[in-house]
Amino acid sequence: MFDGPVLVTGANGFIGRHLCRRLAAAGEDVHAVVRATSSREIGECPGTTLHTVNDATAEFAAVADAVQPTVIFHLATLFAPQHKATGIARMVEANVTFGSTVADTATRRGVRLVHTTSAWQHYEGAEYSPVSFYAATKQALCDVVQYFTESEGLVADEVCLFDTYGLRDDRQKLVRVLIEHAASGEPLPMSSGRQLVDLTHVDDVTSALLHVATGPTLDARLVARSGHQVTIRELAALVEGVSGRSIDTRWNTRPARPREMDRDWVVQGASTSWRPQVELTTGLLGLWNERMSPRG
């Protein structure tokens, strides 16, 4: 697949762990940059060489010089509560400063860069309208990458993600919450449930990343989404269907968040042969079986 080593940032994140496993299973020489201070474990990932750093921004270039990768997958990202004094600074450091260092290093070494962005940068399908400060930091890195591509010759591709889910997910995301409440029977306070979600299975996300990294450079972002939007109420009903359990959902007992997806967002992107393969019900059943297994 690749002619040399592959370097992954954010390898202890949800998507990063899955990508490293998939690359290693394909026989690739996989290297992962992991912060020593991270609270998340990369878990069992045979075939991946870990490079633990104390200061990712300061140490990344040296790691890349040692590995000499043919492609860098930049998946590292941080969402922190911005109402806390350190939240804004931490997100800028992780999402903009570190990402800029990755882009600069890829440019200097002539390495292809594949990075992920968020649909939350595109409220109601706008080319740019951030839903949150986190989304604004993701866009800031896009602007930095554009500088390096237009002025310094960087070869970079963007994969824009909507909501993601899959096995071995330790994030407190909606799908996991619904699965947990189906298992426990505990009441679940929710807002109206009329909002839309577009869930893409992590196996399809990794396929999109590899599709981009192994093909010709795209003229536009690849939007990796299932294209099958459901309301939160419909999603809860799907979880009830695969689990055979009722969820004690208390609709309209929590306020709605601002700028949610109340109608489908059409985010413009490149036309490619990539297509999602994992149907939502199948993916949810896999999560339920994982939750109810002896090790779940």
pTM of the prediction?
0.95
Structure tokens at 180: 């947990």
Cα torsion for 20, 291, 173, 119, to the nearest 10°?
A: 50
| CATH 3.40.50.720 intervals, the chain | 6-161
At residue 34, what is the residue type? V
Rounded to an integer, what distance in angstroms lies between the CA atom of residue 159 and that of residue 5? 21
Q: Into which CATH architecture does domain 166-197+228-292 fall?
A: Alpha-Beta Complex (3.90)
Tell me the torsion sign for CA atoms 184, 81, 163, 115. Answer: negative
Which of these CATH numbers, 3.40.50.720, 1.20.1090.10, 1.10.760.10, 2.60.120.10, describes 6-161?
3.40.50.720
SS3 content of the chain, % helix, strand, coil (to 5): 40, 20, 40
Q: Cα separation of 44 and 49, whole Å?
A: 12
pLDDT in tens for each of the 296 residues of the chain? 999 999 999 999 999 999 999 999 999 999 999 988 765 666 667 789 999 999 999 999 999 999 999 999 999 999 988 777 789 999 999 999 999 999 999 999 999 999 999 999 999 999 999 999 999 999 999 999 999 999 999 999 999 999 999 999 999 999 999 999 999 999 999 999 999 999 999 999 999 999 999 999 998 999 999 999 999 999 999 999 999 999 999 999 999 988 999 999 999 999 999 999 999 999 999 999 999 998 65
Residue with tokens 């939160």: 232
What pLDDT sits at residue 92? 96
pLDDT on residue 61: 98
Span(s) in the chain for CATH 3.90.25.10? 166-197+228-292
Q: What is the DSSP string of 146-178?
A: HHHHHHS---EEEEEE-EEE-SS--S--HHHHH
